[in-house]
Structure 1
Amino acid sequence: MENQKPKDTITCKKMAWTITNFSSFIFNVPRYSEVFTVGHCAWRLIAYRGKKDSSSSIGIHLEAADASSWPQGASVLAAFSITVVNQLSRKKSVTRGVAEVDVQCKFRANKCDWGYPRFMALSELEEPYKGYMLNDKCIVEVELFSVTSEGIEPLKDGDVVDFKDLGKIDKSLVPLLEEVCLRHLSLLDCMKNKSRRFTECAFTALGRVLQFLKDKRWKEMNDKEASEQLQQLWEELEMIRLDLSWLEPLVKSALNMKGYDEKGEKIKKLKQNLVVAETEMNIIKEKLASTEQSVQVTRKELRNAEEDFEEKDLDVEIEYERP
């Protein structure tokens, strides 16, 4: 890879995620943990219930949450394990994954999550006497043994600032966030009583969408890659559940630019077809008008001719009146 930035390796970090109200999980609808940072990358866990039948299971994945903002060609190698904790006996916890750094998963912008779609059977997980689920709660741990980033430049202390005492934000995003917060005060109101980690994640996600829109022209959104990148940034932002009614129309309009050239060409062709059809219709109308006029003239001539004409039986003898 050209102009590759030096590799940066971080070793060993563990994060626990307590999933509450597990019974409210909707089948095949993912639930996300809070974002945490390891190796200059943002991570989160994803969990979802599999198909609703006797063989259904829980799927658990580790996702690079900020992969859509990585420079082109950047990647992260990570060795990790995922554990569903047994709350009655730690020894009975279920762990998948390996600690060896030579067995790593490669995270990229187009492949940003790795994990286990059938981590364990729901019948085992939800059995109250097994100890994995207590009071409708289960605990999932992820341990990253090695995280090696390549092509991702870490933020330095001077690159982040404390944004309105809500969290550390990339300073390049702050002017955009300042502007929208002045116009939409609800953005700050909804951050009350939220954790610092949550607000940092929320404003960073919002700032990335705003920065993307600021840096793009309408014609660039015709590109499939740009459209997919915005789609991913927008989906990440939507999950935070801010009031985005003021921003959504612009984003949807930008996403609708995908295939703009093809749509424009189709409209152009339809307009040309309409001109041809209207021309043919006008010719037919003119011919019809001429035919109608001819019919009227012929009808009048027929009436005049009938007035001077007495119909007779030509086979009858001509007789005159005798005295």
Structure 2
Amino acid sequence: MKNKEPKDMTCKKMAWTVRNFSTLTFNIRYYSEVFTANHCAWRLFIYRGEIDNDMSLTIGLESADALSLPQGCNIWAAYKLTVVDQISRKNSRTHGDADKPYKFCANSTWWNYRRFMPLSELQKPYIQNDTCMIEVEFFSVTFEGFEPPSHPKDDFKDLGKIEKSFIPLLEEVCSWHPSLLDCTKNKSRRFTKWALTTLGQVLQFLKNKKWKDMNEEACEQLQHLWEELEMSRVDLSWLEPLVKSALNMKGYDEKIEKVKKLKQNLVVAETEMNMIKEKLAHAEQNVEKTRKELVNVEEDFEEKDLEAKIGYG
């Protein structure tokens, strides 16, 4: 199907201010708030970590809509990511291509630059007052196989505006587990909205996925969503076993082949064992038969010294 050109761009550029940058835990993803560009929901993410023995900053863009797209439906976005030089903007560090769109779909919801820049270079003027500024600029967002999505929101139990698609899922699990709402007490409205939205994303992921869909990439997507949800410290004991089971599907094809092969090996081993048991049982019968024959023969048999003389006395 031919791509549909967007009529307008809701947001061409978005800036994310990352505060307390030095306190960010290594190898943990941190996400921006969700924002909209051409009727699509997006969010940025970063993490600091070791890549090929070098400490680097990773920056990526994730589509919040791609997760629920049917097979064959894609979002194409051309964009650039920038770490802003807060003293001289012309020296900002940028990656991306205005003429090269990337495909976002259910099996590929995000793209990142693993080595956006070395951490050794991420100092002044990129960091000012322990704050890092990251920007994303969109040059095109087009759709393949579907109409542009919309994100209507509605109030959820007076806790904040939540995407309507999440509300039925949240209502259902909150009716089963009232402690979820208790965990939001004494929390800011902004925190509660974020926690419920993140929970909604995990629930929607699980609802839309089949076990066979949990390939390595899907497991990685769920892992990132789950790690973010865990940071909310909401009671997730009821959900954790299912999520862990889904994450355990990583390498499922290899595991099932291994199980299949071990089952076949077990059948061969049991067959060999049964054959040996039959041979052993037959041998035991022969031993018992031979023992009885020996007893009968020995009754009428007196052993002689064949070298001795018979005599006549």
Q: TM-score, normalised by structure 2?
A: 0.75
Q: How many angstroms apart in 2 are the aligned matches of 1:198 and 1:66? A: 22
Deviations 1:209-243 (A, max 9, x none): 43454466xxx523556x85466235313322143
Which residue pairs with 1:238 in the alignment?
A: 227
Question: How far off its partner does 1:309 sit?
Answer: 0.9
The number of residues matched between the two structures is 300
Deviations 1:69-114 (A, max 9, x none): 234321131323312443xx3447523147x8x4344141344444
Structural mapping, 1:245-264, within 5 Å: 245-254=237-246, 258-259=252-253, 262=257
Question: How far off its partner does 1:311 sit?
Answer: 1.9
2:275 counterpart (266, 277, 280): 280
Question: How far off its partner does 1:266 sit?
Answer: 4.8
Which residue pairs with 1:59 in the alignment?
A: 58
Percent of aligned positions with the same letter in both sequences? 34
Letter of the 1:108 partner, please give it. F
Q: How many angstroms apart in 2 are the aligned matches of 1:85 and 1:164? A: 42
Question: How far off its partner does 1:142 sit?
Answer: 0.8
Structural mapping, 1:1-323, within 5 Å: 1=1, 7=6, 9-10=8-9, 11-20=11-20, 22=22, 25-26=25-26, 29-39=27-37, 40-51=40-51, 56-72=55-71, 73-86=73-86, 89-91=87-89, 94-97=92-95, 102-109=98-105, 110-126=107-123, 130-133=124-127, 137-150=130-143, 151=146, 153-155=148-150, 157=152, 160-192=153-185, 196=189, 198-214=191-207, 220-223=210-213, 229=218, 232-233=221-222, 235-241=224-230, 242-254=234-246, 258-259=252-253, 262=257, 265-266=260-261, 269=264, 272-273=267-268, 276-277=271-272, 279-301=274-296, 303-305=298-300, 308-314=301-307, 316-320=308-312
Check whether the contact 1:9–1:146 (CA below 8 A) recurs between aligned residues: no
Helix, strand or coil at the partner of 2:12: strand
CA gap 1:146/1:167 in 2 versus in 1, 3 angstroms: farther
Check whether the contact 2:222–2:247 (CA below 8 A) recurs between aligned residues: no
Check whether the contact 1:57–1:120 (CA below 8 A) recurs between aligned residues: yes
CA gap 1:274/1:97 in 2 versus in 1, 3 angstroms: closer
Q: How many angstroms apart in 1 are the aligned matches of 2:258 and 2:311? A: 85
Letter of the 1:94 partner, please give it. S
Q: How many angstroms apart in 2 are the aligned matches of 1:298 and 1:84? A: 101
Segments of structure 1 that go 5 or more residues without pairing to the other structure are none
CA gap 1:33/1:172 in 2 versus in 1, 3 angstroms: closer
Helix, strand or coil at the partner of 1:240: helix
Check whether the contact 1:68–1:229 (CA below 8 A) recurs between aligned residues: no
Q: How many angstroms apart in 2 are the aligned matches of 1:93 and 1:44? A: 21
Letter of the 1:37 partner, please give it. F
**Superposition CA RMSD, Å:** 3.7
Segments of structure 2 that go 5 or more residues without pairing to the other structure are none
Question: How far off its partner does 1:246 sit?
Answer: 1.1
Helix, strand or coil at the partner of 1:239: helix
Determine which structure has more spread, i.e. the larger CA radius of gyration: 1
Q: How many angstroms apart in 1 are the aligned matches of 2:19 and 2:108? A: 25
Q: How many angstroms apart in 2 are the aligned matches of 1:49 and 1:187? A: 33
Q: How many angstroms apart in 2 are the aligned matches of 1:167 and 1:8? A: 30
Deviations 1:142-178 (A, max 9, x none): 1324351414632254xx3211223333334322211
Question: How far off its partner does 1:115 sit?
Answer: 4.7
Question: How far off its partner does 1:31 sit?
Answer: 2.7
Check whether the contact 1:74–1:108 (CA below 8 A) recurs between aligned residues: yes
Helix, strand or coil at the partner of 2:115: strand
Deviates further, 200-209 or 167-176? 200-209
Check whether the contact 2:199–2:229 (CA below 8 A) recurs between aligned residues: no
